[in-house]
Amino acid sequence: MKKISEAIEAGKQRGHSGEYSIEGEEYYCSAAIQKYGFVYKAHLSIIKESDMAQEAFKECFTREFSCLKEAIRCIEESGPIKFSLFESLKGQKLFNPAFNEENET
């Protein structure tokens, strides 16, 4: 986790995405954090697999925080993805840090 934290501090976007079972339903979830300027951007999206074609998200946001610890807490308290699962995104990004969004579905 130290390498992931260091990468985030250097302005790299790190995160995780995958399929999760929530309340007996299958969901696709993604979460990422990136330091952008002087703030930390936390992104989370949760969508039921059966709602993907309609893009009807259960949860979708990009929020900003003053410290990494707050961004991590937001991700972990809002969905199934834990910071310990975060990894390098291999050239892809899960969100655009220039914008904040809040459940725009």
Per-position pLDDT tens, the chain of length 105? 799 999 999 999 999 999 999 889 999 999 999 999 999 999 999 999 989 888 899 999 999 999 999 999 999 999 999 999 999 998 789 999 999 988 754
Cβ(72)–Cβ(83) below 8 Å: yes
Burial (CB count <10 Å: 0-12, 13-18, 19+), residue 51: middle
Task: Report the alpha-carbon angle 50-55-25, nearest 5.
Answer: 30
Does this model's pTM top 0.85? My answer is yes
